[in-house]
Amino acid sequence: MQVEGLDHVVLTAREVPVTAAFYARVLGMRVDMHEDPAHTFQYAEMYFGRQKINVHQAGHEFEPRALHPTPGSADLCFVTSASPEEVMQRLQTCGIAILEGPVPRTGARGEMTSIYFRDPDQNLLEIAHYA
């Protein structure tokens, strides 16, 4: 067996609607919101490219799940064709504090330029551009 790609990851959020709105507004993801059958919590599916991120409410994770799902424990890197300057402008327009960057990094495809910031749950997000 050889793995061919990544289909989705799951983030645990304090407030699913807040997290989903952030990813839609800042990163342009398409968001589908859902409610559990008892209407006691919400979850989201956020689509970008050919992947998605599922967002589960802390304390209401789906089974099976990670052993210790925790808001703010993820470190995700997204790839964009936008220039680092365009990414910086987008983040500044959205009022997002930039932690670091643009800085050179090495990714799965080689040399890239990255910019780091955090989402509402304090997950570390990296936007990378390959030259």
Active site residues: 126
Torsion sign over Cα 105, 110, 115, 116: negative
- For 125, the token pair is 């997000």
CA-wise closest residue to 70 among 117, 122, 131: 122
The three-class DSSP label of residue 76 is strand
- What is the C-alpha separation between 27 and 61, in angstroms, rounded? 24
